[in-house]
Amino acid sequence: MDRLDNTVRPYAWGSTTAIPALLGTEPTGEPQAEMWMGAHPGAPSRTGRGTLAEVVDADPEKELGAASAAKFGPRLPFLLKLLAAGAPLSLQVHPDLAQARAGYEDEERRGVPLSAPHRNYKDANHKPELICALTEFDGLCGFRAPAETADLLDGLGVASLKPYADLLRAHPEDAALREVLTAILTADPEEMSRTVTETAAACDRLGGAYAPYAGIAHHYPGDPGVLAAMLLNHVRLQPGEALFLGAGIPHAYLDGLGVEIMANSDNVLRCGLTPKHVDVPELLRIVRFEAGDPGILRPEASPDGEEVYDTPIDEFRLSRYVLPEGSGVRDLTLPTPQILLCTAGTVRAGEHELAPGRSVFVPADETAEVSGSGTVFRATVRV
C-alpha cells in the first residue's frame, strides 16, 4: 500500500483551524477548506511511485482490480476529502449522469473553454456525494415543505416576502417551489438586495430557527441566495451522522468538519451565495423540485465491526472502523481499490502508522491489515 501526501485547497470559505487541529499542525492563518485524497487531475495525491493518477494510469487493472476497471473504466471512480467549512459554501446542485453527459457534449460542441467562468460542465460525469460529520456539522439539504416555508417567511414580518409566501401556498408543491426559486433568482438586483437586507435584520433579531439564515446573510449580504436558502431544510449533524446528496438536490454546507466522498467529478450548478456564475435556466432544468426530509444517515454495523453508510451509488462506498484498544488485527483486503483514512487515535495500516488526517491507498487484492486504537474510514467502490 502507498502512503498518500495530499493537497489542501485554500478556498475562501474554509476553516482556518479545523484541518490543522486534526493533523496536529499549526494554523497558518489562511483558510484550509478541503484535503483531497484520490486521483482527481485537479490535485492528485502523491505517493512514492508518483501521483496516484500516474500510478493508476500505469496499470489500471492491477491497481483498481479487473471488476472495477471493467465497470468504471481505467480511473479511480471516487474522490475522498476532509472538508472544513468555516463559512457557507455556495448553494448548489449536481446533474445526473445523463444530464452531465449531454451538458458536457453541448459545451464542447459550442467550444466553451473548460476554464471559462460561465462553463457549467467540466466533465461528463455525475457528482453524487456523501458527507459524514466529524464534528457538529451544519448544512442545508433539499426543499422544506412549501407551507412550512411560507409560515417561516410570514414570521419575519417583511412585507416584500409576502408574494413568495402566497405563491408557496397557492400552487402544487413542485410548481410552487419552481415559481418561487425562479422569482428569487430573476428579481431586480436592487430590489432583491433591499429585501435580503431587511430579511437578514429580522432573522438576526428573532434568532431560533432563523439564526442559520442570519449567519448566511452575514457572509453574503444582499445575495438572493439568502432567500433561496430559506426554501431548504436546515440540518445539524452530530459526529458520525451523514447526509447523502443525490442529483438535483439543492444543498450547501455551512459550518463544521467532515469526511466527504463523491464520484470523481467537478460538475456544479450554483443557485447563489457565490460571486461565481449562476446559469438560471440550466439550474432550473437540473433542480428536482420535491420537498422532503433530508434523511440523516447513521452507519449500519456488520458482525466484523465495519460500519457502512449505505447509499444507492456504485462509484463509492464509505464505511468506518472504530478500533478499541487491544482489538487485534483486522483484515480489510478487498478485490477493489481502497483509501484508508485515520481520523482519531493511531492506526497501523500495513507498514504505515497513521495519525489523524493521514491516509494510504491500497491497490485491489493487496493485503490490508489494520490494528491499533482509533477510527479509520474506508473508501472503496461497489462492483
pLDDT tens for each residue of 167-183: 999 989 999 999 999 99
Report the chain's mean pLDDT, rounded to a whole number. 95
At 276 the pLDDT is 85
In the chain, the percentage of residues whose pLDDT exceeds 70 is: 100
d(C-alpha 37, C-alpha 96), whole Å: 23
Active site residues: 270
d(C-alpha 179, C-alpha 154), whole Å: 18
Q: Quick one: pLDDT band at residue 115, thresholds 50, 70, 90?
A: confident
At 31 the pLDDT is 97
Residues 368-377 have a mean pLDDT of 96
- List pLDDT tens digits, range 27-74: 999 999 999 999 998 899 999 999 999 999 999 999 999 999 999 999
Query: Cell 460529520 identifies what position?
Result: 133
Does residue 370 contact residue 323 with C-beta atoms inside 8 Å? Answer: yes
Residues 330-356 have a mean pLDDT of 97
Residues 249-253 have a mean pLDDT of 96
**pLDDT higher than threshold 90 for residue 164:** yes
**pLDDT higher than threshold 90 for residue 223:** yes
Q: Quick one: pLDDT band at residue 162, thresholds 50, 70, 90?
A: very high
Residues 152-170 have a mean pLDDT of 96
At 327 the pLDDT is 85
- List pLDDT tens digits, range 257-297: 999 999 988 889 998 898 888 899 999 999 999 999 999 99
Residues 109-125 have a mean pLDDT of 91
In the chain, the percentage of residues whose pLDDT exceeds 90 is: 91
At 323 the pLDDT is 95
Is the whole-model pTM more than 0.85?
yes
Q: Quick one: pLDDT band at residue 107, thresholds 50, 70, 90?
A: very high
